[in-house]
């Protein structure tokens, strides 16, 4: 195991003592390393002289800092290194030699010219968990740059998103970057467990297209197992009804009665219990096949009350439903349900509100130790530490 004691940072958590050398930029990699930092890992964010691209992705901003950057970089320390410079590349190499985990999302082969590829790093650090995130893998797709929007297009997701008679749409977030970041985190944790048991490191490869294809779940299975190419259905579900927004007296309401019991409860709340006994709607397959006959029966009742009124009544009866909120409404609902969705990282002028880590632990909770770093904020102390022999470099 590499000597990874770093200066000035102490941490608790299940990943305390794990040193992560983060050479990634934009979203997928930084999102993964932020999750690791929340769980106690010591994450060193290596940035080029101009910093992570997302520092300049604005508006919106908080002060003069991009909220995009703030949202995925808490808990880290920043060192700015120009890998084209021989001395800076040597500093980066020493960091990789001491790291438990290296994360990078350069194009395949891009780290080799700096002596930071997996084969080179593992010669001096055989226990390293080296994680590479690409758009289309390290084989025949290695030359294709990987951006989430491209992957939404080529994977088929956009063909499934939008009105049936309208154009295809992207998802409202970079969904496959986030998914790949989660897959990278899973891979890192599994590889660390293997390393702890055997002392052996390994290469962990994640690519956005593979994350996309597994993330399309039922649509992927429809094609792979059923030979069916799914198509755009707006907000409707190909296999379940009702499972979509339906109009009420004011706004649309999501209604998801996905099994026979829930459908019977829905009909009871709407005051049409006889509809649940209609043979056209007795089973989910029947309701899906006859959705055009069923929809007006449901809407005829729903338009008598507001979306929020129906939400309360349906949820109390055990029928999944929900209003279509804007982001502020989503946070308000999380507050209502005592999920405490916002935490503050840092103090004084550096205090930044941020979204809580999504996983709760009964013994080792996530911690929010450092605000998103300024560019090269910790460069001096890290360079000093990396310049010393490991036995002298302990904090």
Q: What is the DSSP letter of 273?
A: G
Q: Can you tell me the distance from the alpha carbon of 114 to that of 102, in angstroms, rounded to the nearest whole number? A: 14
Lowest mean pLDDT among 9-23, 211-225, 273-287: 9-23
pLDDT, tens only, 35-75: 999 999 999 999 999 999 999 999 999 999 999 999 999 99
Question: Is the model's pLDDT at 394 over the cut of 60?
Answer: no
Output the pLDDT for position 390: 81
Give backbone dihedrals phi and psi of 238, rounded to 5 degrees, phi first. Answer: -70, -20
Q: Give catalytic residues, as residue numbers.
A: 177
pLDDT at 116: 98
Whether the per-residue pLDDT at 395 is higher than 80: the answer is no
Rg of the chain, C-alpha, whole Å: 25
CA distances (Å), 276 to each of 134, 154, 387, in order?
A: 49, 41, 73
Q: How many helices (H) and strands (E) does the chain have?
A: 14, 13
Q: For residues 330 and 336, what is the distance between their CA atoms, to the nearest angstrom?
A: 10
214-237: pLDDT as tens digits: 999 999 999 999 999 999 999 999
Q: In this predicted model, what pLDDT tens digit does every residue of 181-225 receive, in sequence order?
A: 999 999 999 999 999 999 999 999 999 999 999 999 999 999 999
Instruction: Give me the chain's average pLDDT, please.
Output: 95
Q: Which of 189, 190, 155 is nearest to 175 (CA)?
A: 155
Is residue 337 over pLDDT 80? yes
- The residue with greater pLDDT, 310 or 395, is 310
Average pLDDT of 342-362?
96
Indicate whether 392 pLDDT > 80.
no
Omega before residue 276 within 30° of 0, cis: no
Determine the Cα–Cα distance for residues 27 and 152; give it in Å rounded to an integer: 15
pLDDT at res. 91: 98
| Triad 176, 181, 182: Cα angle to 5° | 100
Helices (H), 337-393: 379-387
Q: How confident is the model at residue 8, as a pLDDT?
A: 56
- Model confidence at 3: pLDDT above 80: no
Average pLDDT of the residues in 238-267: 96
Mean pLDDT of 326-343: 96
pLDDT confidence of 1, banded at 50, 70, 90? very low
Task: Please tell me whether the overall predicted TM-score, pTM, comes out greater than 0.95 for this model.
Answer: no
pLDDT bracket for residue 29 (50, 70, 90): very high
Token readout for 179 is 């998914």
- pLDDT tens-digit profile of 71-116? 999 999 999 999 999 999 999 999 999 999 999 999 999 999 999 9
Task: State percent of the chain over pLDDT 90.
Answer: 94
Tens of pLDDT along 116-147? Answer: 999 999 999 999 999 999 999 999 989 998 89
């Amino acid at each position: 195991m590499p000597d990874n004691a770093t200066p000035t940072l102490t941490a608790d958590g299940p990943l305390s003592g794990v040193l992560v050398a983060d050479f990634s930029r934009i979203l997928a990699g930084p999102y993964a390393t932020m999750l690791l930092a929340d769980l106690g890992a010591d994450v060193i964010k290596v940035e080029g002289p101009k910093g992570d691209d997302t520092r300049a992705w604005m508006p919106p901003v908080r002060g003069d800092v991009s909220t995009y950057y703030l949202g995925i970089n808490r808990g880290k320390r920043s060192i700015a290194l120009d890998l084209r410079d021989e001395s800076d590349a040597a500093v980066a190499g020493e960091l990789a030699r001491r790291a438990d985990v290296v994360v990078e999302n350069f194009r395949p082969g891009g780290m080799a010219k700096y002596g930071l590829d997996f084969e080179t790093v593992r010669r001096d650090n055989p226990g390293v968990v080296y994680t590479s995130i690409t758009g289309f893998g390290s084989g025949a797709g290695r030359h294709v740059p990987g951006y989430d929007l491209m992957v939404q297009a080529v994977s088929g997701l956009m063909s499934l998103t939008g009105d049936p008679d309208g154009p295809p749409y992207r998802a409202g977030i970079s969904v496959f970057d986030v998914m790949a970041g989660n897959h990278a985190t899973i891979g890192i944790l599994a590889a660390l467990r293997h390393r702890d048991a055997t002392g052996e490191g390994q290469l962990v490869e994640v690519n956005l297209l593979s994350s996309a294809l597994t993330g399309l779940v039922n649509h992927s299975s429809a094609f792979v197992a059923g030979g069916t190419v799914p198509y755009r259905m707006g907000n409707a579900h190909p296999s379940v009804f009702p499972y979509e927004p339906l109009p009420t007296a004011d706004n649309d309401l999501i209604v998801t009665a996905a099994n026979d019991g829930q459908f019977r409860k829905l009909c009871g709340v709407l005051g049409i219990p006889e509809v649940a006994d209609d043979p056209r709607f007795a089973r989910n397959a029947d309701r899906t096949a006859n959705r055009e006959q069923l929809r007006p029966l449901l809407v005829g009742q729903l338009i008598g009350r507001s979306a929020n009124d129906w939400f309360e009544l349906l949820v109390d009866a055990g029928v999944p439903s929900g209003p279509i909120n804007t982001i502020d409404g989503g946070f308000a609902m999380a507050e209502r349900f005592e999920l405490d969705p916002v935490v503050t990282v840092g103090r004084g002028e550096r205090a930044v509100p941020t979204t809580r880590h999504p996983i709760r632990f009964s013994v080792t909770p996530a911690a929010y130790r450092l605000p998103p770093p300024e560019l090269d904020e910790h460069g001096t102390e890290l360079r000093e530490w990396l310049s010393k022999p490991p036995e002298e470099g302990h904090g």
